[in-house]
Amino acid sequence: MMKYFQKLGKALMLPVAVLPAAAILMGIGYLIDPNVMAANADKAPIAVAVFLVKAGGAIIDNLPILFAVGVALGMTKKKDGAAALSGLVAYLVVTTILKSDNIALLLNIPVEEVAPAFSKIQNAFVGILSGLIAAGCFNKFGEVQLPTALSFFSGKRCVPIITSALMLVVSGILYFAWPPLYNVLVKFGESIVGLGPVGAGIYAFFNRLLIPTGLHHALNSVFWFDVAGINDIGNFWAGTGTKGITGMYQAGFFPVMMFGLPAAALAIYRTSPPEKKAKVKALMIAGVAASIVSGITEPLEFSFMFIAPPLYLFHALMGGLSFMLMSACNVIIGNTGGGLIDFLIWGVFQPGSHWYWVLITGPFFSVAYYYVFKWYLTRKQLSIDVSDEEPEQETRGSSLDEKQHILASRIIEGLGGRENIVVVNNCLTRLRVDLKDMALVSDEILKKTGAMGFVRPSDVHIQVIYGPKVEGIASHVREVLKY
């Protein structure tokens, strides 16, 4: 079950990865004209601003569809367009049947008497559910062979048809199940929001704790999108949220990403043995750059979470504290990936964001992280695990394609050889591989290819942390495995 949810978390990253594009478009639009979407503006909005904001809004407004397509594709064994099409079909069927107007028509009642839950049927939860059902149909029927008379519909061509038929049944179930489920989700969201800054801190604490499992993406979807009635990102971008509430599940990342973790990296470097300092320095610089610029923290977090679990618990607590402080100070900064880009576009450049509180509180996070990490690592005489061997130089002088091919081959060797590999996937920072025999994996070989850490959630699945460059690595590994 844990493996299934980890795979779901990875699949969710495919649609979430398009959010930065929406953020940049809308951020520039609001920068040009802060009142572009104001209903009672004194003057006509600037045309360019309207164009940019609406272009970005096209993404955020249709996130449920992106979830349906992305999850369907990400949860299939073979990444095929038929799975994505089936996800779209599944979503369109269920949301059309259960639309308020159609429910009223089916029951022959005024639309005002239809349960309010059906007016919210086009949401991220239904999008994810549609994607999961479509993926299940593809995995089950994607290679089925029909009789000769129906052979045209064999294989993946039959998947959208089967999916649409199954969604009729699912729609019937949701007709009864969705209203009470929706009410539960709304009450959950209201209870968390009702806690104010404390609720934001609780969210952030568990967000960090779930990083090793990869389930933090699933947790984010509850708070960021319209699953439990919170929809923090959607309300923030649409300007329809509540002052003092909207944005409280986003802004707290910045003090940790831009100040806390970089200070922890400095402490890790300074407490490293002299013989390891050069390698630790290179590793920390790469991790700090990813954390500050793009908000990707996993390369730094995985460098210490397993050698010093108490430090990771401290990190999770500080994340909760950061969210509480930013929420209490009414800091409103959108977060689509985090880091300096979002801080500038959705903070510094946006009036009323109170972005300066990040710079005021950030140094305190730096001091706390630095001295706690330095004290603990020195007291326990710990240092991060880096290979004592020099990196291999076999790719020196080769072309870029040859280097990438050789690196992919070495990664395959470290994973126990091509015969030991079942499936290779990736998320933003991790190479996720299903294996036949975990005992054949060589951590030393993988470290020499640039791996920053490892997670083994089961006996047949390993996650190798490479950081933001993992997309290219995964692509080349899959390419080498084809031959």
Q: Which of 137, 158, 329, 427 is catalytic?
A: 427
Residue 113 CA from chain centroid, whole number: 38
Q: DSSP 3-state assignment of 421?
A: strand
Where are any strands of DSSP class E within 375-460? 421-426, 430-435, 453-458
Return d(Cα 398, Cα 7) in angstroms, integer.
36
DSSP class of 5:
H
Exposure string over 356-369, b if 16+ CB within 10 A, otherwise e? ebbeebbeebbebb
End-to-end CA distance of the chain: 33
Bridge partners of 463, per DSSP, are 432, 455
Per-position DSSP letters for 237-297, written without gaps between them: HHT-S-TTTTTTTTTTHHHIIIIIHHHHHHHHHHTS-GGGHHHHHHHHHHHHHIIIII---
Integer CA distances (angstroms), 381 to 87, 243, 275, 397, in order: 52, 47, 15, 39
The phi and psi torsions of 332 (rounded to 5 degrees) equal -125, 95
Q: Any catalytic annotation for residue 158?
A: no
Where are any strands of DSSP class E within 37-94? none
Catalytic center residues: 427
